[in-house]
Chains A and B, each alone.
Chain A
């Protein structure tokens, strides 16, 4: 059970506040936009390819 219990002794609450200066909000927004665009593009391409493949089969 070492996998479960092996936790660092110091807690994250002692670290500098990440959200305090607003930088983290920018990081989160940028990552969220990139990931949403990537997944949106992948879904769109997947569905479009499926349509073309079905047409090709006919």
Chain B
């Protein structure tokens, strides 16, 4: 039997896809119908940050014991980070499509875009670091420390720095956020289920990754 939260994730995402493509949306200047991408682009980042948070927690748990490292937690931290990267790439792709339709280019010099790219590279470095160490305990210890540093840097890069400077993204650099007036009630009815649904799907993918690793071990 498939667990209830996995079925819930599937239903919520299915609902958000159907409503996202066929439902009514407000007519916003410049955005027009591309506002529908809100249901796909933003949940990817929410899912990514949730998975990265879990990866961060698992890395802390890896180092929790003074004398030994917990390899199980380390393996889980890697799976969560791996899945988060998958959603990060999906977030970048959906964002690029949206940018092309509203800003006129797939990639602009927007600080949030560049920060997101740097943050993704940071986690790419985490995987390179992992694969470069043969000894299991050493790998777990060093990569856990790196991951614990990565997460706060990611938060600063993606959520704090772009807000301090000019940015095309809503809610950044003096731009009004979706929350203030763009995100009206019709969007909320689809947006929130989409966020919850995609987060559940993200954890479902991570769960499969964890179980596969466990069986391989």
Contacts and interface: CB of A to CB of B under 8 A. Distances in A.
Interface of A: 3-8, 10-12, 14-16, 18, 24, 27-28, 31-32, 35, 38-39, 42-43, 45-47, 49, 52-53, 56
Contacts of A31: 17, 21
Contacts of B215: 49, 52-53, 56
Nearest to B3: A46
Given A7-B184, A53-B211, A53-B215, A46 B25 contact: no
Contact of A15 (B2, B32, B185, B211): B32
Contact of A16 (B13, B28, B32, B184): B32
The 8 closest A-B pairs by CB, nearest first: A8-B26, A10-B27, A7-B184, A49-B211, A12-B24, A8-B184, A45-B208, A15-B27
B185 A7 contact: yes
B185 A6 contact: yes
A11 B28 CA distance: 9
Interface residues of B, number: 26
A53 B6 CA distance: 18
Contact of B27 (A3, A12, A47): A12
Contacts of B181: 6
Interface of B: 2, 6, 10, 13-14, 17, 21, 24-28, 32-33, 181, 184-186, 188, 201, 204-205, 208, 211-212, 215
Contact of A28 (B2, B13, B21, B32): B21
B204 A8 contact: no
B180 to A, nearest CB: 10
A49 B21 contact: no
B27 A49 contact: no
B33 A16 contact: yes
Contacts of A46: 2, 6, 204, 208
Contact of B13 (A4, A7, A35): A35
Contacts of A3: 185, 188
Contacts of A53: 211, 215
